[in-house]
């Protein structure tokens, strides 16, 4: 597995603040080497898809932090805490991002939501961003990312949306499959009904 020293100097410099911030938060649960490995692998996964690298260090920090929290839970190094719901689709650019937005908006402190894709796209669907903004939910700062083993294993509920056999399966985890139209390539008028369907399903999930 790559280390920070294997990366170009400019990349190391850009990632070092993320390393320090994550270590300050999670260093009591995880070793520095583990944190470094997750930061580097998160950067490599995101960089392989990124068209614009301006915000890559920030996205790397957010993705690595999520993965490390999942890893700490799976390894028994963190308290169970609040339930985790994971939304999975193909590109992590439309349906799962809208579900994440609704869940975060409606759940408050009751639960945590994450999302991922089997083939992450380059950006969140602009029509999905616009449709969610119309109901007061900002998903413009989200970004497509892959799911990883520790994230899937840490989830208490996994909601799948069109990823079929590629969706990972963990015995003992609660699964739901939501049949939703794919908003990819559609305008905001077509995305609004999908948005509203997702809201209803998220409310039902929270109620259960």
Tell me whether residue 129 is one of the annotated catalytic residues.
no
Q: Check 167, 180, 191, 202 and give the catalytic one.
A: 167
For 157, other C-beta atoms within 10 Å of its C-beta total 17
Distance in angstroms (rounded) separating the CA atoms of residues 35 and 69: 10
Residue from 39, 89, 93, 191 carrying the catalytic annotation? 89
89 in active site: yes
Count of positions (residues) in the chain: 208
Catalytic residue among 22, 40, 86, 163: 163
What are the φ and ψ backbone dihedral angles of 176, each rounded to 5 degrees? -135, 140
- Measured in whole angstroms, how far is the alpha carbon of residue 39 from the centre of its chain? 15
Three-state DSSP state, 169: coil
Specify whether the backbone of 76 is left (phi greater than 0), alpha (psi in -120 to 50) or beta: left
Q: How far apart are CA 111 and CA 132, in angstroms?
A: 20
Report how far apart, in Å, the C-alpha atoms of 64 and of each of 27, 160, 173, 187 are: 13, 22, 23, 32
β-strands 157-160, 174-177 pairing: parallel
Pairing of the two strands 157-160 and 84-89: parallel
Tokens standing for residue 82: 């609040």
87 flagged as catalytic: no
Catalytic residue annotation: 89, 163, 167
């Amino acid at each position: 597995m790559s280390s920070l020293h294997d990366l170009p100097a400019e990349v190391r410099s850009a990632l070092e603040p993320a390393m320090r911030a994550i270590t300050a938060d999670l260093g009591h649960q995880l070793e520095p080497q583990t944190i470094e490995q997750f930061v580097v692998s998160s950067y490599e996964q995101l960089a392989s898809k990124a068209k614009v690298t301006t915000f890559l260090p920030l996205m790397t920090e957010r993705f690595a932090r999520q993965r490390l929290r999942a890893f700490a839970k799976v390894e028994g190094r963190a308290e169970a805490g609040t339930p985790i719901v994971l939304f999975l689709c193909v590109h992590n650019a439309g349906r799962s991002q809208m579900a994440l937005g609704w869940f975060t908006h409606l759940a408050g402190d009751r639960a945590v939501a994450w999302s991922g894709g089997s083939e992450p796209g380059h950006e969140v669907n602009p029509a999905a961003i616009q449709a969610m903004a119309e109901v007061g939910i900002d998903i413009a700062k989200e970004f497509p990312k892959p799911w990883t083993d520790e994230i899937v294993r840490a989830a208490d509920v996994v909601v799948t949306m069109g990823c079929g056999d590629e969706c990972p399966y963990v015995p003992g985890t609660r699964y739901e499959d939501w049949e939703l139209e794919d908003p990819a390539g559609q305008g905001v008028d077509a995305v609004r009904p999908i948005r509203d369907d997702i809201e209803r399903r998220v409310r039902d999930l929270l109620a259960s």
